[in-house]
Structure 1
Amino acid sequence: MLVKINEVLDDAKEKQTKEESVNMWLGQLQNLACDVDYLFDELQTEAFQRKLLLGDDAMDKFDSMAMSKVKDVNARFQDIASQIDLLGLKESSVEKSRNARQRVPTTPSQISDAQRGGGGDPGPANFSRSLIKKAKDLAFLHQQVQIFTKSELAQATGNYDTRLFLGEGGFASVYKGVLPDCTPVAVKKPKAVGKIPMNQVFQHELRVVSQINHKNVVKILGVCLETKVPLLVYEFVPNGTLFEHIHDKSSQVLRNWRTCLRIAAEIASALDYLHSLASPPIIHGDVKSTNILLDDNYKAKLADFGSSMLISSDNQTAMTTKKIGTFFNLDPEYVITGKLTEKSDLYSFGVVLAELLTGLKPVSGMALASNEGISMVQYFLYSIENNSLRQILNFQVADESEMEEIETVAELASKCLSLSGRRRPTMKQVSEELDRLKISHEN
């Protein structure tokens, strides 16, 4: 429904009429768009919390309350939309409004049909209803994700002892904890960040990770809903980040090509899953070596979905007003346009591949023989173009066949690092190529 509202708004703005009635209508429609967006989030969150805390019995009463709210918004929408005919706007705007009103389900039978997949584009009622249904259908959370109390997590982390501090990002600090059954966990605790609504940030992350099930993605184990902002409990991944092993010269983990190739293939597999198999598709939004963890067998696990975006299968773009991610790993096209796409993850993955191959930090500045200063990515691409890649590798090359594999991966990374998203491959293509190389190397 928000798409329909925005389409009508665009048409109205193009008209640029000064009539007072038009200005009043536009203001009402903009306020309604904000109200609807807030309502959807509120309904989903409340349904989710009731499901976890109270079980299925509490959902019937909640459904009645939720549908009452939906009907109020639905009535407002139809009232405002009915005014379009009186404003003399474009025929397309009028037609869009009529179509939108026709698709809004208002009776129990229409709502039921919408839930079964009929009814065309979603209006406020069936869209909100689908969110509630989605929350109710998260049965695996009720069965497999543990609900922790605030005191249980405080005890597990030694009241968030600084000695158990694992790291932090822009929105949260992470502490190691040990449950009574001796299971190690990582507890993600929010930080106060200006006026950012942390409750929404953590609810969004929970909404994303609850849909992911992949061996190379860190699993969520539990949640605490007693605090103002939910505490998230993840599996503990013991062997640090990929960043640490790349740049710690005492680490021997990445000193051979076989391990580097395997880890690159595992990361690509996780991203391909997010883009192609997750429902809805997910853009990670902050792919970098510090967000890739290594487990007890040094297998890669992608972490930190605080910047991730859920996207519809027919629209692979998410618009953001505030830049997310880490600057030196960010897609230049996204920085310019504000459009976050799957190809944005491709660029960031290309930076990780370059970092893995060279052992150089993305923030590093390099100098050419001409004393020209360039970035790590530019230095990596320059080395490929000038056939000097071997000189900047972070590990010993066993033989020429291994070097051929490395050059193939470097060329793949250079395609990911294209300034134009359309010239980058898909994550599926990258994953399939890395898997092929890995299998070939193992054989």
Structure 2
Amino acid sequence: MGWWKKKKSRAVVKEQTWDRDQWRGEKILEALIQCCDGKPNSIKFFTADQILKATQKHFCKFVFPNYIFMGNGTLDNHRMILLRKMKGRSPHPPRDICTGPPKDVAISSMVSDHKNFMKLVGCCFEFEYPVIVYYGGERQYSPVDLNKIVSWRRRMKIAEEVATALAYLHVAFPRPFVYRNMGLKNILLDKNGVAKLNDLSYCVSIPKGETHVKLTWAGKDYDYMDNDYIFNRVVSEKTDVFGFGVFMQKLLTGEKILRSFVNWREKNKFPKWLSSYMGEGRMGEIVDPKMSLVLEEEERCLMEAFLVLSERCIGLRGEVPKMVEVAKELRRSLKQGE
């Protein structure tokens, strides 16, 4: 049975991945109260029939994992929509994490007007897998693919925009939100190359007056996780800063994995080339060969500054910076390279 089929009875619901009762509208309200002190946000709930009619039942056009882009039909006066199915999530997450559609929808409604997040339209919980609906406008979206992004300046721009989005989560609300879901797979680019941070279901808020929160479960993406998160399940703003530092190094080197499962227990173990190639005119040996560039002096200096900033983020160079500081430094570097 396709994931778009409606659920026919409560007996069927019990056998599905998701418990329908768990994802009713009141769960969204609970998430809003938990995440943003009950601040009202515009969230529209669509029926399965509305989604099917708007997309002309074309649910088989997969563009990238867990996403389906629809360019035909209308929904709430939006001609272009992006549907995201919440597939593969645990129906019973730990209470202190609250992952899944309710949290994703609630936080998406809070950041929807920011240019580096997807614009939320609403959601539908009448399918086998809950569906979140984003406004597509006239934009085409695609996931970040380093094989196709061969411009160093464009990679820097993506880094700056992702840093801006993370900084917004950290400072724009009474309680900081920690994204803790860093990875290329969660960044979408519109047709103009603007980066959109996506999938907010793993966000956790830091309690007022505290600097961190301890969870019962950490996750499995070791490559982006600092040791305090891996071993102690402690989440703070530094969790995002560390993950972003790893992301920066991947943009620079094109490496898919920097810390493997084998060595994740060793403190901050990264490839030996990180600092040893700077100041010796050897940056070209670590830069992603897919990038089409000639390393002139000014560009090499910008890359070295980029690498140093990434090392500060992962705690290899003095005090770990705030995400706001990281975004500002990247913005300065972009202007310097103009």
Give the TM interval when normalised to the shorter protein. Answer: 0.7 to 0.9
Asked if the contact 2:35/2:205 (under 8 Å) is kept, the reply is: no
Rg comparison, structure with higher value: 1
SS in 1 for 2:81: strand
Deviation string for 1:272-331 (max 9, x for gaps)?
111111343210011111111111101111111111112234213121111236221112
Q: Which residue of 1 aligns with 2:62?
A: 164
1:153 aligns to 2:51 (yes or no): yes
1:393 aligns to 2:287 (yes or no): yes
Deviation for aligned residue 1:129 = 12
Q: Select the structure that is richer in helix.
A: 1
Q: Which residue of 2 aligns with 1:278?
A: 173
Deviation for aligned residue 1:205 = 1.6
Whole-Å separation in 2 of the counterparts to 1:261 and 1:281: 25
Q: Which residue of 1 aligns with 2:86?
A: 190
Asked if the contact 1:157/1:164 (under 8 Å) is kept, the reply is: no
Whole-Å separation in 1 of the counterparts to 2:306 and 2:202: 27
Q: Which residue of 2 aligns with 1:266?
A: 161
Deviation string for 1:172-222 (max 9, x for gaps)?
x32223463362222222336565359962112222222213111122111
Deviation string for 1:244-267 (max 9, x for gaps)?
2x1x2xx2xx32322122221111
Deviation string for 1:79-107 (max 9, x for gaps)?
xxxxxxxxxxxxxxxxxxxxxxxxxxxxx
Asked if the contact 2:89/2:100 (under 8 Å) is kept, the reply is: no
Structure 1 pair 186–436 and aligned structure 2 pair: CA distance change class (3 A): same
1:427 aligns to 2:327 (yes or no): no
Equivalent residue letter for 2:49: S
SS in 2 for 1:175: strand
Give the aligned CA root-mean-square deviation in angstroms: 3.4
Q: Which residue of 2 aligns with 1:378?
A: 271
Equivalent residue letter for 2:83: V
Structure 1 unaligned residues grouped into runs of 5+: 1-41, 51-127, 168-172, 366-374
Structure 2 unaligned residues grouped into runs of 5+: 1-21, 261-267
Deviation string for 1:17-41 (max 9, x for gaps)?
xxxxxxxxxxxxxxxxxxxxxxxxx
Structure 1 pair 440–263 and aligned structure 2 pair: CA distance change class (3 A): same
Q: Which residue of 2 aligns with 1:436?
A: 332
Deviation for aligned residue 1:343 = 0.4
Asked if the contact 1:307/1:325 (under 8 Å) is kept, the reply is: no
Whole-Å separation in 1 of the counterparts to 2:201 and 2:58: 21
Deviation for aligned residue 1:241 = 1.6
TM-score by length of 1: 0.59
Whole-Å separation in 2 of the counterparts to 1:320 and 1:304: 19
Q: Which residue of 2 aligns with 1:203?
A: 102
Q: 2:202 is matched with which residue: 285, 307, 329? A: 307
Q: Which moved more, 1:156-165 or 1:310-319?
A: 156-165
Structure 1 pair 200–437 and aligned structure 2 pair: CA distance change class (3 A): closer
Asked if the contact 1:219/1:234 (under 8 Å) is kept, the reply is: yes
SS in 1 for 2:188: strand
Whole-Å separation in 1 of the counterparts to 2:331 and 2:129: 40
Q: Which residue of 1 aligns with 2:131?
A: 231
Whole-Å separation in 1 of the counterparts to 2:36 and 2:228: 36
Whole-Å separation in 2 of the counterparts to 1:194 and 1:150: 22
1:175 aligns to 2:76 (yes or no): no
Asked if the contact 2:44/2:122 (under 8 Å) is kept, the reply is: yes
Equivalent residue letter for 1:241: P
Structure 1 pair 45–324 and aligned structure 2 pair: CA distance change class (3 A): farther
Question: How many pairs does the alignment contain?
Answer: 296
Whole-Å separation in 1 of the counterparts to 2:63 and 2:312: 38
SS in 1 for 2:132: strand
Q: 1:326 is matched with which residue: 221, 226, 237? A: 221
Q: Which residue of 2 aligns with 1:410?
A: 307
Q: Which moved more, 1:320-329 or 1:333-342?
A: 320-329
Q: Which residue of 2 aligns with 1:80?
A: none
Deviation for aligned residue 1:380 = 4.7
Whole-Å separation in 2 of the counterparts to 1:337 and 1:317: 12
Whole-Å separation in 1 of the counterparts to 2:153 and 2:252: 12
Asked if the contact 1:328/1:362 (under 8 Å) is kept, the reply is: yes
Q: Which residue of 2 aligns with 1:372?
A: none
- Greater length-normalized contact order (CA 8 Å, ≥ 6 residues apart): 2
